[in-house]
Amino acid sequence: MSVASLLSRCRFNTHGLVRTAKSKILLVLIICNYLSCIPTLKGQSNEKPNIIFILADDLGYGDTEPYGQKVLKTPNIARMAKEGMKFTDHYAGAPVCAPSRSTLMTGMHTGHTPIRGNRRDMFQGVEAMPHDVRTIAEMFKENSNYTTALFGRWHLGGVFSNSCPHQRGFDHSFGALSKFHKPPNTYYRPDLYKNGELYIVDENDKGAESVHVEDLITEKALQFIDKQSKGGTPFFLYMAYSLVHAPIEPIPGEVDYSDRDWPQEEKDFAHNVAGLDKYVGMFMEQLKKSGIDKNTLVIFTSDNGPHGEGHNPLFFDSNGPLKGIKRDLYEGGIRIPFIARWPGKIRPGTTNDHPSAFWDLMPTMAEIIDIEPPKQSDGISYLPALLGKKQQKHDYLYWEFKPGNPRQAIRKDDWKAIYFIQDGRFELYHLSDDIGEKRNLASEYPLVAEELFEMIQEAHDYNPRFPLTNTEKHIQVSAKNPNYLEYEDGTPYIPIGPNICWSRITTEADQALGQYDKYFKKLAENGGNYTRIWLSAPLWEVEQKKASGFDLGKTDYLLDSLVNLASKYSIKIKFCLENFRQLTDRPAPFEGSVPFDKPIYSKVYGGPLENMEQFFATKEGKELFLSRMHWFSNRYATNPTVFGWELWNEINSVKATKKVVLDWTREMLIEAKQAFPRQLVMQSLGSFDSKDKASIYKQYMALEDNEILQVHRYLDPGAELEVAKGAMDILAADATRELLSYDHDRPVIVSEVGAVEAHHAGPSKLYEKDTKGVLLHDLLFAPFFSGAAGPGQSWHWHHYIDRHNLWWHFGRFKEAIKGIDPITEDFTPLFLEDQNFRIYILKGKSTTLIWCRDIKSGWRQELLEGKEAKKIKDIHLDLSLLGLEKGTKIDFYLPWSDKWQKGGTVAAGSINLPDFKRSIVVKISN
């Protein structure tokens, strides 16, 4: 009710009352008393404003009309900008989800905030947000009468983390705790959480797709607003959408793009943007309907730059004039749309170029509700900017991001610097002249570069959970002795571990990662430091739907999690880039295996190629492989956890001309070294089990850029070569000697070895009986003691090693070579055999290592004939050919009982062996 209408109802002479000051005071008191009795709209107190913070996911700077979008229509977002203020220089907290939201909730930039990356652990029970760090919701609850609510995605702690929304200050929460719940079909998931309790969307249960989650959480949020408007306290509503994050599943909006001549994925993306815009309009409508529109501040923004996961961000110019996308610290990865609307407070249709960021939200909210923000905050309130008043500026804005090449960025005034830690690159841009960051000015303005570099260092506080730098070192071929490997500081590296190329029991991400955690833990506990992963296996494959259509989401979560697990256990990974042999669509050859075809490259299935020959011989085919290689290079080329890159698994098995494939390998090895300059590159061939393989191996091993000479060999009763049907130690040693005989001064690795049914028709049935690991022991020891750079790298990790819990064999090998430096020793491999033993000798400069294998206790005797290995007693070993001096010190290691026996000596060129079973290691100090 207006004052004029109130006065018109007064039953006294107002003309007379206002003639004296006393009368004026009396009138004011009467009016104030009357107004105090009038209920506020819908019963809600209007002393403090309601606040709605709408967060889109992966929406680019240029995806909406207010920021220059010419194709996609966003009428509601445009109307919001027309009725409010558009910020041109607002920044997300980070270029990906979790750390960006962490800065938003804590008011701390990524140099300080506790969550600095998308880390799987925080969704599996590890506390994500330490309780000595306050959230913005806790600030509201501890200092005001605000009701706090979160609808949508939290992404800062899983159900067991003690850091769910209801534990961090939110009175009401409904939505997903992270994007990693299953099923992966995010927008039709059945599992949500309401105030910390599991909430099943019945309509989506058991694979049904009836209710789009974004519809459901919007409905719940609007109900919350309606309820609060009818007598509740003022509220802070954090509306965290998953749109337009992948997967790109269309949701109806106010604009229909179905008839456009666009790729389907771009139509779907356009509909997602339209759906997001529709939701913004629904909020505006609800506020007016509830009568609280004029007392509500609404902010709309995005958590980082545009993604390229399942669609092309360039198609709609999603980053506008900016360089980079999600995961970049260039402007396109972190500068975001930001629109604020507050009727009667914010002047409509205004634009503000104040540089601000997510960590400013906390102090801004604190100023609005008239409290002090937590001291932890790095932010500055932008309330003055919203109200058109003089605004305090930041000394600088800071970001950091580790995946790929760890990097830090800083903006001070119009200067922007990015420091790439791994390769030391420093880039400097002046944004007012170069918003697209095209001209690096670091060399032209060295003093500015130096100042910003110092500020970058000062802004970062070390976080052990998210270290920017890695103490791990890359692996390289030894400069002193090219037959062996070393860390880049010259320390010897002997790769110990099996192939664990994919999960043989699941393709479900979290289950598979849990399984790998178990594998890596067991391997590391037994001295292991190496494994091999097939990137083309369905579990890891990022190129599944179409040629060169890479799924960055899978890389961001699944592969990064795998690499982090390996790093956690100090295990190096050799990645194999491809394994397909045809462009058909055949299933895996047997249970637990993977397909060896790639139909998405075939024209029959919508791909670009007619056959495999085109893949290897044409520019178009080569570009497919190069784009794949560079995809992984951009992500992992500087990561020291990665041992190296294998172009192809058993390249000679593909259906293409031999010369074409050889020439392709020669070309791609060069390309690979350019893509992965700090990691090893190599090629692999099929099992060396026939005579014709000798010439093939010689050709490939002669390629200069093939940095490691790899050989595959299996115990195969269907093999042409007799050696491949015999004793495991002989077949592995023979393969090693074959490659060493090529005399290329490069490390030799038996990179696949095991036992199979005839002609590789599946895992050998011998494994069922080999519960003690007789085969595994021999394939580990024989290659190294024959001159290889490491032990044999076994296959059948699931059917055999883990099934019988044989991980301890890796520890026994590690113990047998304890303290040995093969680089310095410069071993010469020798071999002796008599009626009792096969004797493998490594004669070094200061140490001679010998592995003696009992001939009478091999796999035939123990596994086929069922004969238990007998204890060997009273053996004198003649080593006169070594020229050992009398009294030379000797130690013995018994790998089957894990015992050392020290104190032996040489007498008359021979030594007395202690009692042992199957094999013994002799260590002689020369």
pLDDT digits (tens, 9 = 90+) for 410-451: 999 999 999 999 889 999 999 999 999 999 999 999 999 999
For 262-268, the CB contacts below 8 A with 24+ separation are 262/315, 263/311, 263/315, 265/310, 265/311, 266/311, 266/312, 266/315, 266/316, 268/311
pLDDT at 77: 98
Main-chain dihedrals φ then ψ at residue 10, nearest 5 degrees: -70, 135
Nearest by Cα to 42 from 329, 252, 234, 313: 234
pLDDT at 590: 80
Task: Check: CB of residue 279 under 8 Å from CB of residue 219.
Answer: no
Strand locations in 445-566 (E): 475-477, 485-487, 492-493, 530-534
Main-chain dihedrals φ then ψ at residue 852, nearest 5 degrees: -100, 125
Main-chain dihedrals φ then ψ at residue 448, nearest 5 degrees: -65, -45
Angle between helices 658-675 and 693-701 (to 10 degrees): 30
Residue type, 104: L
Strand locations in 591-729 (E): 642-648, 680-682, 709-715
Residue stretches of the chain with pLDDT short of 70: 1-46, 119-127, 179-186, 553, 556
pLDDT at 186: 67
Residue whose structure tokens are 């004797």: 839
Q: Residue 244: is the preceding peptide bond cis (ω within 30°)? A: yes
Q: Residue 374: is the preceding peptide bond cis (ω within 30°)? A: no
Tell me the Ramachandran region of residue 906: left when phi exceeds 0, alpha when psi lies from -120 to 50, beta otherwise.
beta
- Rounded CA-CA distance 174/152 in Å is 6
- Rounded CA-CA distance 622/614 in Å is 9
Q: What percent of the chain has pLDDT over 90?
A: 77
Task: Check: CB of residue 157 under 8 Å from CB of residue 177.
Answer: yes
pLDDT at 556: 66
Residue whose structure tokens are 């032996």: 904
Tokens of 791: 């032990």
How distant, in Å, are the alpha carbons of 50, 87, 107 from that of 298? Answer: 8, 14, 19
Length of the chain: 926
Task: Check: CB of residue 310 under 8 Å from CB of residue 110.
Answer: no
Task: Check: CB of residue 429 under 8 Å from CB of residue 413.
Answer: no
Q: In what order do the strands lie in the sheet with 407-412?
A: 397-401, 407-412, 415-420, 425-430
pLDDT at 179: 57
pLDDT at 121: 52
Nearest by Cα to 581 from 611, 610, 622: 611
10 Å CB burial of residue 790 (0-12, 13-18, 19+) is: buried
